[in-house]
Structure 1
Amino acid sequence: MSDNGHQNVTMITCTAPVNIAVIKYWGKRDEELILPINSSLSVTLHQDQLKTTTTIACSKSFQEDRIWLNGKEEDIRHPRLQSCLREIRRLARKRRNSGSPTSDVTSVSHKVHICSVNNFPTAAGLASSAAGYACLVYTLSQLFGVDGELSVVARQGSGSACRSLYGGFVQWKMGERSNGTDSVAEQVAPESHWPELRVLILVVSAEQKSVGSTSGMHTSVKTSDLLTYRADAVVPSRMEEMIGAIRQRNFAAFGELTMKDSNQFHATCLDTYPPIFYLNNISHKIISLVHRYNQHYGEIRVAYTFDAGPNAVIYTLQEHLPEFLQVVCHFFPPEVNGGEFLKGHPVHSSPLSEELKRAINLEPTAKGIRYIISTKVGPGPCVVEDPDLHLLGADGLPKKNA
């Protein structure tokens, strides 16, 4: 390919956030369209700590669609990737045919090069596929001038990706139609709504999880009676209560619902046959620590939730954050010298009373937690304006440092 072939490369870079469900999505009623058996609700985490960055280039000189994830070329023919590409191109053609002045007529038929990196461990139960597919769909939509219901497209890549298209607090409505057009994400409240809310991610293990979410859900839907009961009888009212708790910034109600829903999700994993264990001994100790801490104060100051993996996501308010962080460091003494143990937002240190240590009354577990990410609620996807931050070079291939 000659250099002049590259002068007409169109390129755009965007970032998208991770979201953590407080009312869990587990189980599909349609595997193809990724339609859930229940609605769910999540908190979007701040991109300063956790994000996917994606650059997409398109040019008539590209021979085929290609994708690189975290420095390694992957198979673009993955069915879920294909359905996102196909859907966005379909929407772009539809838009072009309607004569919209902003649509770029030529580029829809061009091949694309996609390069994507996460600033956090992939497949460690940190919802990397949600951020990844949300970023892919959002970046494609910017490239091809497509707007409209992007959450329907992102959902077909990874269910929870539809929730990463918004900042703040987001519900994914399960919908009723069989074609999935009403299974969409909607913002419940923006990231500015509850400024005191803080999030700690306790990274227990950054290894890949034993049972992937897709196959785990599939087995649960087939074998767990509790899952069916949860979807039909528990989640609908829980969604309403959770939305109310968020709108009123009622932490006690938010925290209790969050913990109960996490526990029930893991109970359905246990009720699956054969059972699925995402939590390990350290996860169980964290659960115990949180309940003992709350019990000591006679109120819910801290809440945990666990996705399909052993890492804990802790919600608390700014005023309780320094003390609770010290509690975690006391009962899970870090291997490293404190420096790299806490990443993200700095937290003032706070002394621990002997009374509190006695009340919690657990044996400290050294090296139980590898590190902690301190973050807060954050915004949805955004376009990166600085061309120096593109992950692809002018030749459409990943830059050496990307």
Structure 2
Amino acid sequence: MRCCGRSGATMGSISQKGGPGNSLAWRLCLSIPGGKRDEDLILPINSSLSVTLHQDQLKTTTTVAISKDFAEDRIWLNGREEDVGQPRLQACLREIRRLARKRRNTQDGDSLPFSLSHKVHVASVNNFPTAAGLASSAAGYACLAYTLAQVYGVESDLSEVARRGSGSACRSLYGGFVEWQMGEQADGKDSVARQVAPELHWPELRVLILVVSAEKKLTSSTVGMQTSVETSPLLRFRATSVVPARMAEMMRCIEERDFQGFAQLTMKDSNQFHATCLDTFPPISYLNDTSRRIIQLVHCFNTHHGRTKVAYTFDAGPNAVIFTLDDTVAEFVAAVRHSFPPEANGDKFLKGLQVRPAPLSDELKAVLAVEPTPGSVRYIIATQVGPGPQILDDPNVHLLGPDGLPKPDA
């Protein structure tokens, strides 16, 4: 990160993954999601797991500026100014400023080049669909918390700060495989994230994001989950009787790099998460017809091979996150192209990591046995497990100009 004096502003810019965890928290990927026992503190009713994806393919970039010349706090998301008064955003700002004030009060002298009463400008950009069930809020709030902490000189655990914005965001503060521990304390001090395994623990693991829709979902994750907590008996049963054993089993699968166990448990848990959505009243349906065809495709593909070679998971949206191993990527991408052929963007259908072309056998085509639906999958992002937040030193990639306003091309 670059911290410098510019027009009275202190600036910082951080690049952070887009998505897990189902999270992409993931929820951008693998996640064992659940509801919240405290909506204000954003405390979950069960622990959860996520995979952090690589910033080379999916990222949120955030720049923060603080200046005596700013009249008010302001925030821009993807080039559009948003309401800075949003309660969760304000909760993050208050907590960071509280921690900064606490640090200043316990040190001799003044280590910050600005007053804590100065206002802040924030600009954040996602390079993947926002509010479409791809954990953009998790990536965004993790990036925001980390960037604010760098600028304000806060060095404590940021789990609680990020969690105040989006529960899943606390997991996105770390790379690799991450657990969000539900905790037991009423104040949430023990509801924090911890890394289960680093990003290089499972180098063969690959992730394919099948973007079905980039549109904003009709029911937000926050509203949907709170309604589930209030009305779904299945969600309560799941949190107490299912998730603890699944958490233990999933961590074993990750530790031993057991893809068969990992894949099957991921799919089962995704299915049960969406079953709780249907058990909610009024029911919530995040999946669409293409989502269900992708589920069918995955099971047909695995049946053809006689073992589980790919796994799906869906967060609060229709977009699929596929887990597989490096030696299966090319064939499965070919199967997706066959079942969901691109309409006019064939050259842009596959983004991210390079995937060598692969032929699709007649036998597999016969097993798939579905009528192709052109354009149903808009594009695929190929990625892998990645690190946590990264500091950007290059001022050319900062999103705010010397005046503290978004750059025209940001």
Normalised TM-score (structure 1)? 0.97
Within 1, Cα distance between the matches of 2:400 and 2:372?
Answer: 47
Q: 2:112 aligns with which of 92, 104, 116?
A: 104
Within 1, Cα distance between the matches of 2:126 and 2:106?
Answer: 36
Within 2, Cα distance between the matches of 1:37 and 1:282?
Answer: 31
Amino acid at match of 1:137: A
Residues 1:173 and 1:103: Cα distance change in structure 2 (over 3 Å)? farther
Q: 1:228 aligns with which of 224, 236, 256?
A: 236
Residues 1:350 and 1:392: Cα distance change in structure 2 (over 3 Å)? same
Q: Percent identity?
A: 66
1:390 matched to 2:398: yes
Within 2, Cα distance between the matches of 1:255 and 1:103?
Answer: 49
Question: What are the superposed Cα offsets for residues 361-387 of structure 1, whole Å, 9 maximum, x if unpaired?
Answer: 222222111111111111111110011
8 Å Cα contact 1:103/1:144 also seen in 2: no
1:321 matched to 2:329: yes
CA displacement at 1:310 relative to structure 2: 0.5
Question: What are the superposed Cα offsets for residues 135-187 of structure 1, whole Å, 9 maximum, x if unpaired?
Answer: 11000000011111201110000111111100110010010001000000111
8 Å Cα contact 1:116/1:132 also seen in 2: yes
CA displacement at 1:101 relative to structure 2: 7.4
Q: Please give the root-mean-square deviation of Cα atoms over the aligned residues, in Å.
A: 1.4
CA displacement at 1:106 relative to structure 2: 3.4
2:375 alignment counterpart: 367
1:13 alignment counterpart: 13
CA displacement at 1:105 relative to structure 2: 6.2
2:103 alignment counterpart: 95
Within 1, Cα distance between the matches of 2:6 and 2:361?
Answer: 64
Question: What are the superposed Cα offsets for residues 101-153 of structure 1, whole Å, 9 maximum, x if unpaired?
Answer: 79416342211111111111211111111111111100000001111120111
Within 2, Cα distance between the matches of 1:253 and 1:6?
Answer: 53
1:280 matched to 2:288: yes
1:296 matched to 2:296: no
After TM superposition, the structure 1 = structure 2 runs for residues 1-400 of structure 1, keeping only pairs within 5 Å, are 7-17=7-17, 18-19=19-20, 20=24, 21=27, 22-99=30-107, 103-104=111-112, 106-400=114-408
Within 2, Cα distance between the matches of 1:288 and 1:7?
Answer: 57
8 Å Cα contact 2:75/2:81 also seen in 1: yes
Residues 1:323 and 1:293: Cα distance change in structure 2 (over 3 Å)? same
Amino acid at match of 1:386: D
Question: What are the superposed Cα offsets for residues 279-303 of structure 1, whole Å, 9 maximum, x if unpaired?
Answer: 1111111101101111111111000
Within 1, Cα distance between the matches of 2:395 and 2:110?
Answer: 21
Within 1, Cα distance between the matches of 2:110 and 2:352?
Answer: 39
8 Å Cα contact 1:227/1:268 also seen in 2: yes
Q: Secondary structure at the match of 1:314?
A: strand
Question: What are the superposed Cα offsets for residues 60-115 of structure 1, whole Å, 9 maximum, x if unpaired?
Answer: 12121111111111111111011100000100111111116794163422111111
8 Å Cα contact 2:179/2:193 also seen in 1: yes
Amino acid at match of 2:222: T
8 Å Cα contact 1:96/1:105 also seen in 2: no
Amino acid at match of 1:283: S
Return 383-392 or 97-106, whichever deviates more. 97-106
8 Å Cα contact 2:67/2:114 also seen in 1: no
Within 1, Cα distance between the matches of 2:184 and 2:58?
Answer: 33
Q: Secondary structure at the match of 1:115?
A: strand
Within 2, Cα distance between the matches of 1:75 and 1:114?
Answer: 12
Return 63-72 or 100-109, whichever deviates more. 100-109
Q: Secondary structure at the match of 2:206?
A: strand
Question: What are the superposed Cα offsets for residues 201-240 of structure 1, whole Å, 9 maximum, x if unpaired?
Answer: 0011111112111111111111111000000000001001
Q: Secondary structure at the match of 1:23?
A: coil
8 Å Cα contact 1:58/1:107 also seen in 2: no
Amino acid at match of 2:347: G
Normalised TM-score (structure 2)? 0.95
Runs of 5+ consecutive residues of structure 1 not aligned to the other structure: none
Q: Secondary structure at the match of 1:193?
A: coil
